[in-house]
Amino acid sequence: MTASFSERVLAGDPRAIARAISLLEDEAPAGADLIRAIFPRTGRAYLIGITGPPGAGKSTLVDRLAAEIRRRGQTIGIIAVDPTSPYSGGAILGDRLRMQTHAGDPGVFIRSMATRGHLGGLAHATGDVALVLDAAGLDVIVIETVGVGQDEVDIVRTADVSVVTLVPGTGDEVQALKAGIMEIADIFVVNKADREGADRTMSSVRSTLSLQSYGPDDWRPPIVKTEATSGAGVPELLEAIAAFRAYAEKTQNIRRRERSEFRLRELVSHRFMDHLETRVLAPGELSQLVERIAAREVDPYTATGELLTRALKAEN
Amino acid sequence: MTASFSERVLAGDPRAIARAISLLEDEAPAGADLIRAIFPRTGRAYLIGITGPPGAGKSTLVDRLAAEIRRRGQTIGIIAVDPTSPYSGGAILGDRLRMQTHAGDPGVFIRSMATRGHLGGLAHATGDVALVLDAAGLDVIVIETVGVGQDEVDIVRTADVSVVTLVPGTGDEVQALKAGIMEIADIFVVNKADREGADRTMSSVRSTLSLQSYGPDDWRPPIVKTEATSGAGVPELLEAIAAFRAYAEKTQNIRRRERSEFRLRELVSHRFMDHLETRVLAPGELSQLVERIAAREVDPYTATGELLTRALKAEN
């Protein structure tokens, strides 16, 4: 099964890709098998992470970006992640509306993803989905996400370039909710730049950036004005992305290697905990142990030592 | 050694406490031994987490809070954490200046902590240091931290109540950099409330909070105005903390149990990775594996599987 399935993914078959993404979202073992099979064919696509508050017009902006990328002869995959939404998959209205813009164009693949209740799982799954689209031969992959939490930071960190989208006139509070993510921005976009307050938002971002100290060779995040509805500024955004890509060419491999190491450590920890809970401990045993720690009957270090001893000897 | 050392910590001997904290900062094995010995005597202190941007006047506020808590006949431990500073320990000027305010008062213990370069390590160490002060019999422990990153969020999450300090007139950008932490606030403080712009800051926080949806039984974070230099508002802040403590009495044990579980999982993962790297793998072997992943010679899932197989069989 996997052989022909992975071949269909590698050939860019949209149905196979959609099925692959569902497997990864569900953390199904077949998903890991697929990644194993396609991994040698990954590493070619350029990953763009785009985040911003709700209402910043990210979807429209990404659609415009997709159109511009297509116009330049490249193919594009879009992963729209909403960590706050329990809905996902191709079934939601937004997906279908967005698909229509690029209907019949096999050079555009769009997919929504949402959390399935497993903390941190979404970021892992997003990274693996990006690998699938990469292996499927898409030139550019956009990971679009909403919000400000650690999840979004982790998701955006899987990208080669991080774009933070702001919007004028939504009030300080929304900007503020967004701002935890400012540190990870390689490029800022002020969308809906025709709105009142656009200049104030520009200068607010500028003054935030002026608080940073940059060395002579450091990248200084540019601020690009866009009007996603008309498409104004979208070519400039692509230029800024190209400039960052050229700037970061030397460091990109370091960044990707750091990501590989982070991912490997995370996967090892996750699989070990999983092994511990499902193969070593009886059901409910971990929560009993937590109760005993809470009741001060055992301390966390002793509990950890006992768990590790049992896990490491369980294979005998 | 440990027996009499831990007895001195339990008796509240400031030198023993200071030494204990150094051991925990260094992640020395003797630190884990100490936690094992004192753990049964922990769980009594109330933990207050206070965070805010640089210049919000947190130190002065915490000093005033300490004085008020002492006036009410309770003892207090203060852990001042600066994740961005490489300096720590009792040697820094700030500590000595702050100590003078409470000089000769054995009911106040103050200690600065800073990162020692180990990512995430500071949050672990802070939790363990709080256990030491708790076991030493201090009634209230204040964990004071600067900034907005994930480290601060983790640190503040170790507390029973989280207080976020803001200050008027520092401009949107500083507020903004702070704001990622807003979601975890149980209480807001607008310090330097005599400054121009205090009302604007109050209404900005209020409008941020108005974006949240609360159920009828949910806690709505109050906003307390303080002037740390004069001490105005400090009793009101203590009342707000007492009100939250009373509100959260039923849920506090759940919160502490969740923390215990989080801490246990983290400790188990950490110790397992440590075991893997120091006992199973040869030096440099992990980074060679990362290189092979980056070069697409092996995929992360296969690499993880091999690492786990080796780790789990290494004890035979």
For residue range A230-250, what is the model confidence (pLDDT) as tens digits? 999 999 999 999 999 999 988
A290 neighbourhood in chain B, CB within 8 Å: 257, 260-261, 264
The shortest C-alpha distance from A29 to chain B (Å) reads 10
The shortest C-alpha distance from A68 to chain B (Å) reads 30
- Average pLDDT of chain A? 82
Q: Between B291 and A156, name the one with better pLDDT.
A: B291
Q: Where are the domains of chain A?
A: 43-247, 264-313
What is the helix (H) or strand (E) element at residue B79, kind and residue range?
Answer: strand B76-82
Contact across the interface for B293 and A180, Cβ inside 8 Å: no
Alpha-carbon torsion angle A43, A48, A54, A58, nearest 10: -120
Any idea how long chain B is?
A: 316
Q: Between A151 and A296, name the one with better pLDDT.
A: A296
For residue range A53-64, what is the model confidence (pLDDT) as tens digits? 767 788 889 999
Residue A155 pLDDT level (bands cut at 50, 70, 90): low
For residue range A69-124, what is the model confidence (pLDDT) as tens digits? 999 999 999 998 865 544 433 334 455 455 556 767 878 898 887 655 444 566 67
Judge whether residue B196 has pLDDT over 70.
yes
Question: Quick one: DSSP state of residue B44?
Answer: -
A299 neighbourhood in chain B, CB within 8 Å: 35-36, 39-40
Backbone angles phi, psi at A243, to 5 degrees: -65, -40
Q: B42-247, what's its fold?
A: Rossmann fold (3.40.50)
Closest CA to B204 of A165, A174, A179: A174
Edge-to-edge order in the sheet of strand B223-225 = B108-114, B76-82, B140-146, B46-52, B161-166, B187-190, B223-225
Residues B125 and B117: beta-carbon distance below 8 Å:
no
Q: How far is CA B44 from CA A26, B87, B160, B260, in A?
A: 42, 30, 12, 15
* Residue for token pair 């002060």: B133
**What's the rounded Cα separation, in Å, for the pair A296 and B40?**
5
B293 neighbourhood in chain A, CB within 8 Å: 260, 264
What is the average per-residue pLDDT within A209-226? 83
Contact across the interface for B256 and A294, Cβ inside 8 Å: yes
* Residue for token pair 């009495």: B249
Nearest to B308 among A39, A175, A275 (CB): A275
**What's the rounded Cα separation, in Å, for the pair A257 and A234?**
30
Residue A176 pLDDT level (bands cut at 50, 70, 90): very low
- Average pLDDT of chain B? 82
Best mutation target among B124, B170, B264 (most A Cβ atoms within 10 Å) is B264
DSSP code per residue over B17-29: HHHHHHHHHTT-H
Contact across the interface for B35 and A299, Cβ inside 8 Å: yes
The shortest C-alpha distance from B175 to chain A (Å) reads 7
Distant-in-sequence, close-in-space partners of B133: CB < 8 Å, separation ≥ 6:
B17, B45, B77, B79, B109, B141
Distant-in-sequence, close-in-space partners of B310: CB < 8 Å, separation ≥ 6:
B280, B281
Residues B155 and B143: beta-carbon distance below 8 Å:
yes
Class of domain A43-247: alpha beta
Judge whether residue B307 has pLDDT over 90.
yes
Judge whether residue B175 has pLDDT over 70.
no
Question: Quick one: DSSP state of residue B231?
Answer: T
DSSP code per residue over A96-134: HHHHHHTTT-TTEEEEEEE--S-TTHHHHHHHHHHHHHH
Q: Between A224 and A256, name the one with better pLDDT.
A: A224
Q: Between A and B, how many CB-CB pairs are < 8 A?
A: 183
Write down the pLDDT at residue A48.
95
Contact across the interface for A260 and B175, Cβ inside 8 Å: no
ipTM of the complex: 0.79
For residue A76 the two structure tokens come to: 């594009």
Nearest to A304 among B253, B271, B287 (CB): B271
For chain A, strand residue ranges (E) read 46-52, 76-82, 108-114, 140-146, 161-166, 187-190, 223-225
**What's the rounded Cα separation, in Å, for the pair B121 and B28?**
12
